[in-house]
Chains A and B, each alone.
Chain A
Amino acid sequence: MGDNGKTHCSIWAVAGGKGGTGKTFVINNIAIQLAARDKRTILVDADFGGPNVHTYFGVKPGTLSLTDFFEKNVPLDALITPTGVDNLNIIPGNVNCLASEGMKYAQKVKFLRHIQGLEADYILLDLGGGVSLNTIDTFLVADKMILVLAPESTSIENLYHFVKNIYFRKLKILLGLHGLRHIAHEKWKERKTNRVQDIRGLIESLREQEPEACHLISEELSRFRVSLVLNQVRNEKQISVGISLRSICARYLGIEADFVGYVEHDAMFWQNINLEHPYMHFLKSSRLTEGVSRVTENLIAGRSFRGVRVSA
């Protein structure tokens, strides 16, 4: 990041396995909160399957979008579209593109490179649900990997699945960098006879042959952490889901997951979502703004959730 003397910007991406947990809602409002703190923020709608960031901000379809970047080589800067919020611009997603999930490898690499070249304090990426490679690789580029989930069994299950997938992808990339992908693959295939139980075991089993590379890989993996945001919280008991997830990810999956906060469910907001400029209604809901504001503060400071009580 920050190549060619460009000001350092921070890339935050949001994903989370399951659809409908409120990823777009959360990242849009984090963007509003960052902008309100005088941070120049660009929100990129990288939900290749179902973009709708523009609708949230009342930006009319028909303005330039990522489709123009992919199909006509229009540079990303040219796609920057103002919203009604100071300091906040968006890059609308692939609105009129068919089969958008089938992005080619070269396109993906170009997209990721160009994103890192954008001029802003914060670049926020809204990724879609699912575990497609495009989503995962875009997610892994981010400085902060934010996962949004709802306190429901289906959402939690998909979250674990997603976390395992991105971790495994990260490992594969690292092994590839050190030229170990092939032996790792063989070891993993024969994991019963090699008595390899999990990813940590796999790295241990490679350590004898490649001590230095394994050291670097373990080090890189130990820095791997995701941030969890719990959305649609309806009562105080549900907050503990976030706290529990941290423990489970660490102990069962060996992955650091910081629980950074929760956002309450507000029925009033959802009644107004179909009106024009939905974000205006977000700003009117103190419950929602408070929740997202705390999450944003924690993300900026690299802090985790600290038992703030949910209002009655």
Chain B
Amino acid sequence: MKREDFGEHFRTLEVDLSASFQDVRRAYHHLKELFSSRSIVLDPVVDELDPPTRENLIQELDHAYKELCFYFNEKASEEKLSGNPEPSRVTPPPSEGYSGPALKEIREMADVRLSDISLATRIRLEYLENIEKENYAALPPPVFLRGYVASYATYLSLDPILVTRDFMKRYEKTQG
């Protein structure tokens, strides 16, 4: 699998061909946010592109990111086969946002044990389990919880900001 074959997708996300997955992810989230919401940068030119063109552009970004997720996953598997340590598996964001169960699914797909995360992050195993179960009553207050979720996300190479945003939104809903 050659990087050059995915060149078009790297270009769509405005990153170099040598970009790491982290660069790709950062660029994708930046551009997606830029073209899908209002901002001081976009507002003055918003009339220059008609809405369908803009919608197309966002779809192109999504498509490029999906393809690159696929590329980096395959690359990671190849490296795993060749005996390189710690391949990082990457996943497109779940459509319903980062819920506890979605995080669990991503973790299992990446073949990561909860006890490893606990060891690396020094977060108690039962907290991690309760995060995945969204068993809020058994979790610490939000100031701590947010940090735990961010650490969990970082361990899985997910964007901690996006993951905590989704997770804490769900949490806040239940707190009325």
Q: Is B108 an interface residue (CB 8 A)?
A: no
Q: CB-CB < 8 A to A247: which residues of B? A: 14, 31, 34
Cα A245 to Cα B43 with chains together (Å): 12
B interface residue count range (under 10 / 10 to 19 / 20 to 34 / 35 or more): 10 to 19
Q: CB-CB < 8 A to A151: which residues of B? A: 40
Given A247-B34, A248-B34: A160 touches B39 (CB 8 Å cut-off): no
Instruction: State the main secondary structure of chain B at its contact with A.
Output: helix
Q: Is A276 an interface residue (CB 8 A)?
A: no
Within 8 A of A (CB), among B31-54: 31, 34, 39-45, 48-49
Chain B's nearest CB lies how many Å from the CB of A35? 33
Given A251-B57, A252-B48: A156 touches B40 (CB 8 Å cut-off): yes
Cα A253 to Cα B46 with chains together (Å): 11
Cα A243 to Cα B40 with chains together (Å): 13
Pick from A152, A240, A241, A252: contact of B45, CB under 8 Å: A252
Cα A153 to Cα B31 with chains together (Å): 19
Pick from A153, A157, A243: contact of B30, CB under 8 Å: A243
1/0 contact string of B59-93 vs chain A (CB within 8 Å)? 00000000000000000000000000000000000
B45 touches A160 (CB 8 A): yes
Chain A's nearest CB lies how many Å from the CB of B56? 11
Pick from B14, B40, B49, B57: contact of A153, CB under 8 Å: B40
Q: Is A244 an interface residue (CB 8 A)?
A: yes
Q: CB-CB < 8 A to A244: which residues of B? A: 30, 34, 39, 41-42
1/0 contact string of A240-271 vs chain B (CB within 8 Å)? 11011111101111000000000000000000
Pick from A156, A243, A246: contact of B44, CB under 8 Å: A156
Given A252-B48, A252-B49, A253-B48: A153 touches B34 (CB 8 Å cut-off): no
A157 touches B14 (CB 8 A): no
Chain B's nearest CB lies how many Å from the CB of A26? 20
Q: CB-CB < 8 A to B39: which residues of A? A: 244
1/0 contact string of B9-43 vs chain A (CB within 8 Å)? 00000100000000000000011001000011111
Cα A196 to Cα B43 with chains together (Å): 24
Q: CB-CB < 8 A to B40: which residues of A? A: 151-153, 156, 241
Write the chain B residue with the least CB distance to A250. B14
> For A153, A157, A160, A247, which residue has the most chain B Cβ atoms within 10 angstroms?
A247
Cα A157 to Cα B44 with chains together (Å): 6
Q: CB-CB < 8 A to B14: which residues of A? A: 246-247, 250
Chain A's nearest CB lies how many Å from the CB of B161? 12
Cα A246 to Cα B14 with chains together (Å): 10
Q: CB-CB < 8 A to A246: which residues of B? A: 14
Cα A241 to Cα B39 with chains together (Å): 9
3 pairs of A and B residues whose beta carbons are closest in the complex: A153-B40, A157-B44, A244-B41
A241-B40, A248-B41, A253-B48 known; 5 other A-B pairs, CB under 8 Å?
Answer: A151-B40, A156-B44, A157-B43, A157-B44, A251-B49
9 contacts between A and B (CB under 8 A): A156-B40, A160-B45, A240-B30, A243-B30, A244-B41, A247-B31, A250-B14, A252-B45, A252-B48
Name B residues whose Cβ lies closer than 8 Å to a Cβ of A.
14, 30-31, 34, 39-45, 48-49, 57
